[in-house]
Amino acid sequence: MRLNTNPLKDKYPISVRIAGLSGVLGLIFIFLVFPRFVNESEFGSVDQIIIENIDIPQTQQIDNTPPPARPSIPVPTDDEDIADDVTLDDLDFDDFEAWDAPPAPSGPKVKFIPYDDPPNPISPIRPLYPEIAQEAGIEGVVVVQAFIDKKGRVKETIILKGIPNTGLDEAAMEAIRKTRFRPARQRERAVGVWISIPVNFRLK
């Protein structure tokens, strides 16, 4: 009768098998313990970071919207000839050239001439008081602008401020035209200049 024998038992003695089993158990133990040891050694010195939640109060937003524009107030006009419903389409711009332009201002062209000494009358200016103004009791001041040439003669006169329809303007200009003047001087030289002369009319 043949006995069944295990070839591994015959080939390897029991001490070798115990050593092999111990090696396998050791490897298992190393794989189980070593990763935990590595993790604890690497991350054990890391400081713990604490994140604190801070409650930020909600800020109130400022309304920077500009105020609405003030409505325009219509201004009444005294001109009753302007129609309310007139538009640009109703105007005929083809006849623009036929429109009458306002007349140019009349009167002599007054040129300012600088001077050192103004002209002075040689004798007082004595205007004749018009009878119509005396009867009406009209008084006032008439301002006449006159051109005095370099010989002291009055060449032109115009009214700057007058009292019309009383005869006082004409009387003032007539009195100035009859008056002789010492001419104005510029650097010791006689020159013709324009000057303003007030003529006072007062009843006694």
Summarize pLDDT for 99-111 with one digit per residue, the tens: 454 454 455 566 6
25 part of a folded domain: yes
Instruction: Report the length, in residues, of the chain.
Output: 204
pLDDT tens digits for range 21-48: 787 787 887 777 665 555 555 545 445 5
* Mean pLDDT to the nearest integer, 145-157: 95
CATH number at residue 184: 3.30.2420.10
CA dist 70 and 151 (Å) reads 66
Query: What is the domain range of residue 134?
Result: 120-201
Instruction: Give the predicted TM-score (pTM) of the model.
Output: 0.47
Around Cβ 154, how many Cβ atoms within 10 Å?
20
Residue 165, domain member (yes or no): yes
- pLDDT of the residue at 163: 95
User: Encoding tokens for residue 122?
Assistant: 């040689």
Tokens (6 digits) for 67: 């105020």
- Total domains present in the chain: 2
